[in-house]
A and B are shown apart, each in its own frame.
Chain A
Amino acid sequence: DGGITQSPKYLFRKEGQNVTLSCEQNLNHDAMYWYRQDPGQGLRLIYYSQIVNDFQKGDIAEGYSVSREKKESFPLTVTSAQKNPTAFYLCASSTGGGEKLFFGSGTQLSVL
């Protein structure tokens, strides 16, 4: 079945550590997104990519980095510069052209 796979489901980060969240899709979608969800704040856009080898910052990109070397994959790295990384992270993809977003099941990141 086609879909978006995020891993791991739970992730713990130590102080000063970089961690990478995985997002893979087999929907053949061009556009991919990373959102951060904090309680009561809805979804905030971190980065998005409309095509391979290209990506743009969203509203809260500081302390995060991404790559888009393959159409299927859009990993998110939470760097040590992100001082408050505890949140639920959602990856999504879309064909573009006004079509809906498809979401993964999310990764809960916590700080040890």
Chain B
Amino acid sequence: AQKVTQAQTEISVVEKEDVTLDCVYETRDTTYYLFWYKQPPSGELVFLIRRNSFDEQNEISGRYSWNFQKSTSSFNFTITASQVVDSAVYFCALRSYNFNKFYFGSGTKLNVKP
């Protein structure tokens, strides 16, 4: 079975704090893809990153970084020096290589206060 768990329902931080959003996934597939999306108040989901199961290298993009660990089935997302504009709901998602279906976690709502 495919499953994505985002245990943090809501997180509140003060601007400039670092924050990590957790994502744990379950799959029996050896090849799969992991994604993070951001949903601002406008509602449209914005793609942030895709990682395939063969690539465990961590990635950094500006203030964003991602830590992928197959040993713990986790794909965590860290925002460094958070800003008010980072306030949104963040979703982690899993897609099997063999099936064109995406499985989403329940999302983590991030509130960044000035």
Contact = CB atoms under 8 A, between A and B. Distances in A.
Contacts, number: 54
Interface in B85-113: 91, 93, 95, 97, 100-102, 104-107
Interface string A45-71: 100101000000010000000000000
Interface stretch (A14-22, A76-84, A94-102): A94-102
A42 B43 contact: no
A105 to B, nearest CB: 4
B45 to A, nearest CB: 4
Interface residues of A, number: 26
Given A40-B9, A40-B106, A43-B91, A105 B101 contact: no
B104 A42 contact: yes
A77 B102 CA distance: 21
A99 B6 CA distance: 22
Given A42-B107, A43-B91, A106-B43, A98 B102 contact: no
Nearest to A103: B45
Given A42-B91, A42-B107, A106 B100 contact: no
Nearest to B49: A100
A105 B33 contact: no
Contacts of A23: none
A92 B93 CA distance: 14
Contacts of B37: 101, 103
A38 to B, nearest CB: 10
Contacts of A98: 33, 50, 52, 95, 97
A9 to B, nearest CB: 9
A109 interface: no
Given A31-B100, A43-B104, A100 B35 contact: yes
A58 to B, nearest CB: 8
Closest 3 CB pairs of A and B: A42-B106, A103-B45, A43-B104
